[in-house]
Structure 1
């Protein structure tokens, strides 16, 4: 390449770092009227630059020389600046993507690629964290079943297998099993009354519970609910060896056993951020396959954010025509990666129905998240005539670096927009819940808006946070009129206006979840320090990911126990409805990194949700995890190696 960018830490304190940036012109031609465009995940103190001028919107930075300096052949431009955050420890903390442009290209930007060298950390750590696994013993099921008894012997699974279904409740699970077996055996699988793999209804079993019996000539999957049949199917699939036997009949030899099992928590979820980077349907379906295999029952789909609107809305085609795309010449500026080109995508309503149906056959509900009132930049940029208050002079900056991403609770257009969008979301998604985000509304918002001040006076509000509560109460009531229950991050309680019917997801800390549970809210525990799979998996500088909530190795995920500091009889435990993992995707834009961040930690999250704490044991889990690795290898998952 003709241009190279070096970025190094030159001084580092607890909450302040000084960095140096050098742009090299490696070509044989001078570069005039230039600007450097780059992305990084922290806020640069623009006034601290020693040379040049900087504008930053979110992660997107544009650096220009103060005096329109010409960058000579084999010359360089050097500047220093400050960033007021915790010290840098990861290579991923550096500049993510970059290009150069010149004003000669105006009005359109023509990106010129730039090579980025490795981030120059002051004291990089290189020792890789390992999680040694115990030797495989017995039948390796994750999550750990309540009761598993090996019986000796085996069931030979061949192309002659057939599925028998005696109840409509097993229809979805049997379709899932049939699909998996056909892929495995490379042949069609019959469904007939005298099949040797039996789905059998048994009313006395609790919802979600199941029994599985593997005999020499028959397999019995027994449950009283759709979810129970899916859980039985998941266990059976895990019992099928990753390879066929070497004997002439080439059968998959399933060990004979009896299993009796039921989940510990009712909510066992995984959240995927598709706002920051768009994930294609194939990737999402493959993730759902794995969630079902490990007995998750919720796919939480984060569909809107500052950087992208990903769900088709008939009332507002601009949301996907404008809001689903970003780039150097788009209404929404580039962010994170792929900044030199138009980037984005969205899901049509047919795409979403396909995912919902696919997930339902595998025992998962799909909960949509439409983030409000913050994280709304893509929507606001798409519909400025409806969502921008021209008289609002409030000055704020969100944690992600935006000053224009918050809906106004005093604007009539906000309520028109939310009503139409949520009506279509409620019609599209059959789940009884809609997640509305509600996180990270910054200080300073709504404080210099005549309309917002008038609304506060009208209702006797004293704190701008009450305006958030005002808006969320409207949304909660509207969702209730559609038969939906509202979910939100813990900031949904800000302003003290939503009812205890709202389900709160605790993300900032364990303590935040405890506070909400003690206040009477149903809570799903999702503290970043234990469940955020975008966190780096060790202290080595080469680990990919982020670390604002700390490093998160596999063992730390597994050893999490919600509200473990409370006595077992404390009533707050009854308000914890489950646990959830999450993958935020600022730095996740391809299948390889997607899988590396999720696996094998996803399997640890699975056991947190399903298996009672007194039954969990790290060494024993690690042996079962070791037994699962052949499957991960077989299906080509790029998991982080444990040692």
Structure 2
């Protein structure tokens, strides 16, 4: 490698760090008029540079030396800068990606690769804290069922196993079971009258509840709902040993059990960010398989953000032609990783339909998220004639350091855009909900727009946040007209314009969720301090992830009990509909890291969602997790080790 980049912490205090950046030219050629392009996880105070000039947009930084400085062979460029943040503790907080550009400004960029060394954090190494697991139990279902009775005997799953024709509500679960058993037994699994696995409809069983009875010669899956049959199937799949009793004949001995079970919360979800990094359909199906296996019932699909627009919209082909791609020579600048090349992708409507059907068979509802009015840079850059207010001189910087990512409430085009996009999304997704984001609209937005100020005067608004509420009330009307219910992050209540029909996701902390519940909103609890899977799982510097909210090891995840400080009869409890995990993907750009950040914490969250808090037990969970690791090993999953 001809170029190397070093970053070192040279001083720090509670809320400020000073860094030294050194670019080495290891080649035998001088570089003139060069610029260093790199991505960094914090906002750099450009005026603090000791040498050179810096421009930053999001995580994307361009450093130039000034005065046309030449980078001579076997020499280096050195500068220092300040970041107003708490001290860094992890290697992931260093420079993530970089390249050198020597093309004239405004011309086509031809990136030159730069090797990045691990950041010097100026701190002692920290030893990992193990979570030792006890021996596995004989039966290791996760989440813990309400009632499980072990009976003497076993069912032999082998060649010739068949499924009886399922009741209508069990057709999807039957297809799912067929697909799984086909992989295990290496043969097609027929559906016939004399099958030895039966789905039985029991009207008296509540939505989501099921009974599973394994006998020596027959397996009975009983439920009164599609979701109940999916949950029964999930438990059956977990009962199948990871290794066959007879390898040559693919025979599996399933323990005889009688299970009666039902979920504690009706909503049990996981959100995946596919805007910051594009996750292929194969990866999504892989995740949905495991969500179903552990009895989640919702996949929240974050499809749009500043860094990418990932869903095909017929009314605006520019959203995927332009907004789905970023790179050094694209309309949308690089961010996070892969910055030296064109990067991105999107999901066609047919791919979406296929994934919806796949998830439905496994009892998973897919809820799309189209994030408005913030986090809209990809859309705005794709449709500037529709979405840019040329008279707006407002100065703001969003949480992710953008100054041009908020829709204008004073533009007619904003409402045309929202209506057309939501119309197509509502038509495409059968889910009863549409999530419209609503988070992280920064201070300062709309304040220097004559049109926005005139709009505030027209409507008697006193606070710019009421303009956000104005947009969201319009979106809610569009969604409701389609027979659906709007969802939003907790900031959706800003401006006090939406109805109590909107379902709120609490993400910043539990208190925000409690406040919304007490105001009469139904709430999904997703506090970052317990459910954000992009948070690091340990305390060592080489542990992947972020820690802006916390460090989140497995035991902390499992400890979460929503609103546990309230009395059991507090009416706020009635508004808590469920719990959701989240994986934000700024740095999650490959299958290995994807798996590492999710597992095994996803299994802990599964139990938070399903099992009543009074029945949860950390020691017992660890024993069952120990048994589940054999399955994760067989599946080749790169989970985070506990010891």
**TM-score, normalised via structure 1 length:** 0.99
1:623 is matched with 623
Q: How far off its partner does 1:122 sit?
A: 1.5
1:592 is matched with 592
Q: How far off its partner does 1:85 sit?
A: 1.1
In the alignment, the residues of structure 2 paired with residue 378 and residue 484 of structure 1 have an alpha-carbon distance, to the nearest angstrom, of 26
In the alignment, the residues of structure 2 paired with residue 401 and residue 604 of structure 1 have an alpha-carbon distance, to the nearest angstrom, of 33
In the alignment, the residues of structure 2 paired with residue 474 and residue 58 of structure 1 have an alpha-carbon distance, to the nearest angstrom, of 29
Q: How far off its partner does 1:98 sit?
A: 0.1
State whether residues 16 and 84 of structure 1, in contact with CA within 8 Å, keep that contact through their aligned partners in structure 2: yes
Q: How far off its partner does 1:129 sit?
A: 2.5
SS in 1 for 2:35: strand
State whether residues 89 and 124 of structure 1, in contact with CA within 8 Å, keep that contact through their aligned partners in structure 2: no
**1:155 matches 2:158:** no
In the alignment, the residues of structure 1 paired with residue 425 and residue 125 of structure 2 have an alpha-carbon distance, to the nearest angstrom, of 46
State whether residues 143 and 610 of structure 2, in contact with CA within 8 Å, keep that contact through their aligned partners in structure 1: yes
Query: After superposition, where does 1:203-222 map in structure 2 within 5 Å?
Result: 203-222=203-222
2:79 is matched with 79
Q: How far off its partner does 1:259 sit?
A: 0.3
The count of corresponding residues between Structure 1 and Structure 2 is: 643
State whether residues 165 and 200 of structure 1, in contact with CA within 8 Å, keep that contact through their aligned partners in structure 2: no
Query: After superposition, where does 1:538-557 map in structure 2 within 5 Å?
Result: 538-557=538-557
Quick one: structure 1 residues 460 and 28, their matched pair in 2 at CA, closer, same or farther if it must change by over 3 Å?
A: same
SS in 2 for 1:164: coil
In the alignment, the residues of structure 2 paired with residue 473 and residue 268 of structure 1 have an alpha-carbon distance, to the nearest angstrom, of 27
Quick one: structure 1 residues 134 and 50, their matched pair in 2 at CA, closer, same or farther if it must change by over 3 Å?
A: same
State whether residues 157 and 254 of structure 1, in contact with CA within 8 Å, keep that contact through their aligned partners in structure 2: yes
**TM-score, normalised via structure 2 length:** 0.99
| 1:432-483 deviation digits (Å, cap 9, x = unpaired) | 0000000000000000000000110001000000000011011111110111
**1:471 matches 2:467:** no
| 1:541-591 deviation digits (Å, cap 9, x = unpaired) | 010000000100001111100001111111101100000000000010000
SS in 1 for 2:596: helix
In the alignment, the residues of structure 1 paired with residue 439 and residue 229 of structure 2 have an alpha-carbon distance, to the nearest angstrom, of 36
Q: Which residues of structure 2 form unaligned runs of 5+? A: none
**1:438 matches 2:422:** no
SS in 1 for 2:605: helix
Q: Which residues of structure 1 form unaligned runs of 5+? A: none
In the alignment, the residues of structure 2 paired with residue 462 and residue 85 of structure 1 have an alpha-carbon distance, to the nearest angstrom, of 33
State whether residues 90 and 124 of structure 1, in contact with CA within 8 Å, keep that contact through their aligned partners in structure 2: no
Q: How far off its partner does 1:257 sit?
A: 0.5
SS in 2 for 1:487: strand
Q: How far off its partner does 1:348 sit?
A: 0.1
SS in 2 for 1:138: coil
In the alignment, the residues of structure 1 paired with residue 103 and residue 355 of structure 2 have an alpha-carbon distance, to the nearest angstrom, of 45
Q: How far off its partner does 1:249 sit?
A: 5.0
| 1:154-204 deviation digits (Å, cap 9, x = unpaired) | 101002100013410000000000000001111000001110001111111
**1:282 matches 2:271:** no
Quick one: structure 1 residues 106 and 518, their matched pair in 2 at CA, closer, same or farther if it must change by over 3 Å?
A: closer
In the alignment, the residues of structure 2 paired with residue 561 and residue 132 of structure 1 have an alpha-carbon distance, to the nearest angstrom, of 23
1:414 is matched with 414
1:373 is matched with 373
Q: How far off its partner does 1:67 sit?
A: 1.1
1:144 is matched with 144
In the alignment, the residues of structure 2 paired with residue 39 and residue 124 of structure 1 have an alpha-carbon distance, to the nearest angstrom, of 25
**1:326 matches 2:314:** no
**1:64 matches 2:64:** yes
Q: How far off its partner does 1:128 sit?
A: 1.2
2:295 is matched with 295
Q: How far off its partner does 1:138 sit?
A: 2.2
- The worse-fitting range, judged by mean Cα deviation, of 20-29 and 127-136 is 127-136
1:50 is matched with 50
| 1:86-128 deviation digits (Å, cap 9, x = unpaired) | 1100000000000001134851000000000001101143311
2:258 is matched with 258
In the alignment, the residues of structure 1 paired with residue 420 and residue 578 of structure 2 have an alpha-carbon distance, to the nearest angstrom, of 31
1:233 is matched with 233
2:458 is matched with 458
